[in-house]
């Protein structure tokens, strides 16, 4: 049985589990699929229960209670807001983040990917995270937002600092929280300055669209504009980097699936869907019961917190046949990697397309794993930190 209390949670999310958390998830799903490690908290590992919570309007995010010290810094992104503010802000961003706009980025994505891959194929050993998985989404989201190329190294530093801000607070030391606050303030000042420039001289980028929306509708405050840009940067970079890195590692460890994809590049959309199911960049998400509810046969009183283990749900045998097997031809399934309900990932089409482009470009070049990967020291976001490969015989 899983130990109760904080010790049980610490064991489930310990560094020792990061290399392969899935056996632990399977044991939990079998022994205690609706687990109460401590009063006021439930942990869900079955797909049906997790999907039900994410779709249920009775569950939402905890209300933010600013301390008043710096109201600008306390404004959250719509990712952690509830309706009606979530609905309003998401709709404003969605106006400029349409599927057509994402599709229009495909030629640019392919050009960036080809440039990155061509630059490394002659290298004896290369870290695919540093060489491809990280720079591709950074350049794409920067071009989408209209961030000048000279400023992109700054964005990378801010993004790394802010990505861990969604980790459980008890796992983040005070000095790191201070670093996150600094990054948020610094990036906020940068966005306000860039927004002022776009107001004087608009472009065809997403930031210009948000500025025009702000000026026209007067429903997007300056602080909300900053929070939205921070969300787009972190969500558009960190999670996609992990999707590409984790997916490539899975293929390298299953060479028969890599060969299958190389032989049939049209499998790329299905393959990316399978890769994100198999090793999701977002391992868990949290909700709070905003009114009394019932999930998985358990009463959930108002105010209780619920952790949805997306990584466990995505390998639930009740939904995914032979869930621990990687199958790039698997029919698309209702995995929880991008969420469900009103908080379904707005950037999912962009992330999927970037991953397809990167995977197509790399499998053609026959990468081979030369060392065990290094993993990021995060719980919510699961990702390869370093992935060393060498390239085999180039395609004919």
Q: How many CB atoms lie under 10 A from the CB of residue 216?
A: 9
pLDDT at res. 179: 80
The chain-wide mean pLDDT, for the chain, equals 86
Give the rounded percent of residues in the chain with a pLDDT score beyond 70. Answer: 89
pLDDT at 77 over 80: no
pLDDT in tens, 303-330: 999 999 999 999 999 999 999 999 999 9
Q: Reply yes or no on whether the pLDDT at 10 is more than 80.
A: no
Report, as an integer, the average pLDDT of 220-232: 82
Q: pLDDT by residue (tens digit) across 93-108?
A: 777 677 787 888 899 9
Cα separation, 355 vs 259, in Å, equals 17
- pLDDT at position 76, please? 61
Pick the residue with more confidence: 190 or 181? Answer: 190
Could you tell me the fold of the domain covering 5-66+76-391? Cytochrome p450 (1.10.630)
With bands split at pLDDT 50, 70 and 90, how would you rate the model's confidence at 8? confident
Confidence of residue 9 (pLDDT cuts 50, 70, 90): confident
Q: Are 126 and 253 in contact (CB under 8 A)?
A: no
Q: Specify whether the backbone of 69 is left (phi greater than 0), alpha (psi in -120 to 50) or beta.
A: alpha
191 has pLDDT over 50: yes
Q: Given this model, what pLDDT does residue 98 score?
A: 76
Residue 321 is predicted with a pLDDT of 93
Return the exposure string of 80-99: e unless at least 16 CB atoms fall within 10 Å of the residue's CB, then b. bbbeeebeebbebbeebbee
Confidence band (pLDDT; 50, 70, 90) for 220?
confident
Residues in the chain: 396
In three-state secondary structure terms, 334 is: coil
* Edge-first strand listing for the sheet containing 367-369: 126-127, 388-391, 367-369
Confidence bin at 248 (pLDDT 50/70/90): very high
In this prediction, residues 222-248 reach a mean pLDDT of 87
Binned at pLDDT 50, 70 and 90, residue 265 comes out as: very high
What's the rounded Cα separation, in Å, for the pair 169 and 193? 30
At residue 66, the pLDDT reads 47
Q: What is the pLDDT of residue 89?
A: 77
Q: Give how far Cα 299 sits from Cα of 157, 234, 276, Å.
A: 43, 35, 31
- Determine the pLDDT at residue 168: 66
**What confidence category does residue 216 fall into, taking pLDDT thresholds of 50, 70 and 90?**
low
pLDDT at 178 over 90: no
Mean pLDDT of 3-23: 79
Cα distances (Å, whole numbers) of residue 67 to 57, 86, 183, 226, 392: 27, 21, 19, 19, 56
Report the C-alpha gap between 282 and 309 in whole angstroms.
Answer: 9
Residue 396 has pLDDT above 80, yes or no: no
pTM of this structure: 0.90
Q: What is the pLDDT of residue 2?
A: 53
Q: Which long-range contacts (CB under 8 A, 24 or more apart) does 171-176 make?
A: 171/13, 171/379
Model pLDDT, residue 217: 57
Summarize the confidence of residues 106-116 as an average pLDDT.
Answer: 94
């Amino acid at each position: 049985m899983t130990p109760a209390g904080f010790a049980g949670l610490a064991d489930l999310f310990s560094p020792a589990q990061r290399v392969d958390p899935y056996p632990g998830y399977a044991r939990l799903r079998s022994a205690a699929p609706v687990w109460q490690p401590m009063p006021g908290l439930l942990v869900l590992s079955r797909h049906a229960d997790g999907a039900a919570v994410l779709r249920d309007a009775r569950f939402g995010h905890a209300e933010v209670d600013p301390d008043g010290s710096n109201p600008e810094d306390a404004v959250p992104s719509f990712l952690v807001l509830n309706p009606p503010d979530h609905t309003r802000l998401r709709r404003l961003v969605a106006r400029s983040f349409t599927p057509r706009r994402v599709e229009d980025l495909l030629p640019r994505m392919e050009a960036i990917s080809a440039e990155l891959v061509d630059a490394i194929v002659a290298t004896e050993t290369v870290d695919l995270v540093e060489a491809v998985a990280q720079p591709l989404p950074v350049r794409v989201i920067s071009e989408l937002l209209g961030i000048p190329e000279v400023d992109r190294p700054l964005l990378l530093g801010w993004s790394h600092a802010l990505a861990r801000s969604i980790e459980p607070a008890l796992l983040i030391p005070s000095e790191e929280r201070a670093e996150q606050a600094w990054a948020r303030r610094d990036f906020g000042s940068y966005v306000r300055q860039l927004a002022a420039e776009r107001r004087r001289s608009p472009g065809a980028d997403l930031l210009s669209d948000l500025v025009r929306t702000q000026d026209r509708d007067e429903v997007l405050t300056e602080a909300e504009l900053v929070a939205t840009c921070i969300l787009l940067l972190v969500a558009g970079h960190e999670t996609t980097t992990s999707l590409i890195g984790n997916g490539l590692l899975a293929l390298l460890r299953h060479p028969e699936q890599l060969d299958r994809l190389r032989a049939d590049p049209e499998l790329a959309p299905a393959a990316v869907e399978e890769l994100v199911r198999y090793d999701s960049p977002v391992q868990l998400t949290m909700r709070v019961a905003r009114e009394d509810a019932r999930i998985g046969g358990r009463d959930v009183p108002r105010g209780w917190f619920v952790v949805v283990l997306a990584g466990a749900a995505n390998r639930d045998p009740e939904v995914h046949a032979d869930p621990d097997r990687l199958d790039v031809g698997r029919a698309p399934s209702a995995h929880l990697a991008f969420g469900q309900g009103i908080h379904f990932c707005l950037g999912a089409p962009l992330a999927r397309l970037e991953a397809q482009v990167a995977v197509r470009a790399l499998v053609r070049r026959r990468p081979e794993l030369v060392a065990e990967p290094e993993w990021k020291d995060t719980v919510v976001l699961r990702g390869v930190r370093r992935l060393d490969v060498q390239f085999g015989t180039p395609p004919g």
